[in-house]
Chains A and B, each alone.
Chain A
């Protein structure tokens, strides 16, 4: 088991390295330098500045410095926000994104799996149609259409939640009310996918030979489902969770823009609009590392769930 984990961890290193290299190359290709501004800086000052940030050295040396900083957890300084390092900006934004994304993912996992199981066991029932409808809906209607419609309904017409924002000491709304719509929006998208996959995989498992054997042995239905069917049926769902955790971050870009939440996604978009190269780059590297770690965890959980996978 441990040798498998270690092997997978080392397998992830080249991926992370490629991402960082790719990002670094793109940064070099981007037009404009960090000190190009409205007013011209004197050449001597510029030379000093470049020396301070090692910009006067050859590219591979710069890359070395960049890697070294990254290894020490330093994402560099922001191009646009003077006096702010990317680390500080991230530290401010990350908790909000993690709270919303984590809650939404948790609810989606519980809700999606339960709905999928019910739909699979009672095919063509109302629950089944609901899952199928939700699946198609989540697939076709983009979240940036659903989101504003949610705001229109619940915030502007019914006035039960705020239309957006994020504040712990707002006199009118509690933090739960701020979080309600964004979490709901993220949940809808994920429940749809999870429910559909769970339904399909459980139906397939329920038709397999070992379930027929279990039925023939006279086991009660509850035991068959909980002890025998659920575990293999969960495998495709677990596989899905890696990409889903990642897309939760990508989704967060849209969600946080819609609801004006100052999280990672908003940071990324404002960074992109302002052409704050180091900020965007730092965020992409960060997310890429998250991605690789998530996929790693999923692989390991997968190996633990499926006894056919030998390490």
Chain B
């Protein structure tokens, strides 16, 4: 009787405590830290806005990105006929093209990064987990690839395998996974001696299942951070390739293509250069800030 009341008391006190002190997951912690970083939050908001405009914008416009308006060639920005930012020498609406190009640019950034994450995480986790000769060989390959000028490799890939959009996604991802592989390998090395991995070994889980079911999910935080940092890099590479005429091809466009086209007519129509240039610069600037903010919030090193 006595012990029972004591137990009840204990239970009620404990439940009270749990009401007062909210449990905080590492993710909630990270979110709070990120929210404190004003520059990063502002950048995130701007990025989301740009993303929204790109997705919704084309439905609000009178013109599509590949429609040529013969009554309005090389037009200056105007409110009169729906060409709010003017047209190029073929009469295509600059705003519509900027939005469509933005869509491609964002897609390239995200898909390219996904490819790099898949390669980088698998490579790093396998190298770190198996260790020994496998590790030495795999990381030696990474070292060799590090020593190469990647811009040139991207150009080489585009030269040999044509200028298909999907191929470019893969090519861009395939050249940006090295940092990810190194980081993931380092984390895997410290994770593989943890008890839960030993337990998985003991109950006979296969090695690949351990890597992808038990180790990789624990790498999520750091992978997210470095993926965010990879996105602007991939976008930058895509823009450079497109600017050089080796990336996105007509009728599709991207901000790099638009800057290149704008450069040709910048003396008479400087906005053709400035509008896509501004979009690209702001996006890269904000993406860098969000990446830095996420790293500060999630990276265990700085805690």
- Tell me the smallest distance from the CB of B204 to a CB of chain A, in Å: 39
Q: Which B residues are in CB contact (< 8 Å) with A231?
A: none
Q: Which A residues are in CB contact (< 8 Å) with B259?
A: 142, 144-145, 148
Q: Per-position contact with B for A1-25: 1 when CB-CB < 8 Å, else 0?
A: 0000000000000110011000100
Residue from the list B149, B150, B267 in contact with A156, Cβ < 8 A: B267
**Interface on chain A toward B: helix, strand, loop, or mixed SS?**
helix
Q: Per-position contact with A for B156-176: 1 when CB-CB < 8 Å, else 0?
A: 111111100000000000000
Size class of the contact patch on chain B:
35 or more
Using known A-B contacts A29-B160, A269-B246, determine if residue A148 contacts B273 with beta carbons closer than 8 Å: yes
Q: Which A residues are in CB contact (< 8 Å) with B144?
A: 14-15, 18-19
Residue of A with least CB distance to B153: A284
Beta-carbon contacts under 8 Å, A271-293 to B: 271-273, 275, 277, 280-281, 283-284, 287-288, 291-292
Task: Give the total of A residues in contact with B, Cβ under 8 Å.
Answer: 46
Beta-carbon contacts under 8 Å, A142-188 to B: 142, 144-145, 148-149, 151-152, 156
Q: Which B residues are in CB contact (< 8 Å) with A14?
A: 144
Q: How far is the CA of A283 from the CA of B151 in the complex (A)?
A: 12
Q: Which A residues are in CB contact (< 8 Å) with B161?
A: 30
Q: Which A residues are in CB contact (< 8 Å) with B202?
A: none
From B153, B244, B280, name the one whose CB has the most chain A CB atoms within 10 angstroms.
B244
Q: Please determine whether B153 and A140 come into contact, CB atoms closer than 8 angstroms.
A: no
Q: How far is the CA of A284 from the CA of B147 in the complex (A)?
A: 12
Q: Is A122 an interface residue (CB 8 A)?
A: no
List the one stretch of A54-62, A86-94, A216-224, A248-256 in contact with chain B. A248-256
Q: Please determine whether A144 and B273 come into contact, CB atoms closer than 8 angstroms.
A: no
Q: How far is the CA of A240 from the CA of B239 in the complex (A)?
A: 24
Q: Is B85 an interface residue (CB 8 A)?
A: no
Q: How far is the CA of A268 from the CA of B288 in the complex (A)?
A: 29
- Tell me the smallest distance from the CB of A62 to a CB of chain B, in Å: 17
- Tell me the smallest distance from the CB of A267 to a CB of chain B, in Å: 11
Q: Is B212 an interface residue (CB 8 A)?
A: no
Q: How far is the CA of A30 from the CA of B162 in the complex (A)?
A: 9
Q: Is B82 an interface residue (CB 8 A)?
A: no
Residue of B with least CB distance to A18: B144
Q: Please determine whether A288 and B148 come into contact, CB atoms closer than 8 angstroms.
A: yes
Q: How far is the CA of A231 from the CA of B154 in the complex (A)?
A: 37
Q: Is B37 an interface residue (CB 8 A)?
A: no
From B159, B162, B266, B277, name the one whose CB has the most chain A CB atoms within 10 angstroms.
B159
Q: Is A41 an interface residue (CB 8 A)?
A: no
Q: Per-position contact with A for B266-293: 1 when CB-CB < 8 Å, else 0?
A: 1100100110010011001100100000
Q: How far is the CA of A18 from the CA of B140 in the complex (A)?
A: 11
Q: Is A141 an interface residue (CB 8 A)?
A: yes
Q: How far is the CA of A23 from the CA of B153 in the complex (A)?
A: 9
- Tell me the smallest distance from the CB of B167 to a CB of chain A, in Å: 13
Told that A27-B160, A291-B147 touch, could you supply 17 new A-B pairs with CB distance under 8 A? A15-B143, A15-B144, A29-B160, A30-B161, A141-B285, A148-B262, A156-B267, A247-B151, A250-B152, A268-B155, A271-B159, A272-B159, A273-B246, A280-B159, A283-B152, A287-B152, A288-B152
Chain B residues near A (Cβ < 8 Å): 143-144, 147-153, 155-162, 236, 239-240, 243-246, 256, 259-260, 262-263, 266-267, 270, 273-274, 277, 280-281, 284-285, 288
The 10 closest A-B pairs by CB, nearest first: A140-B285, A250-B151, A145-B277, A30-B160, A148-B263, A272-B159, A141-B281, A144-B243, A140-B284, A18-B144
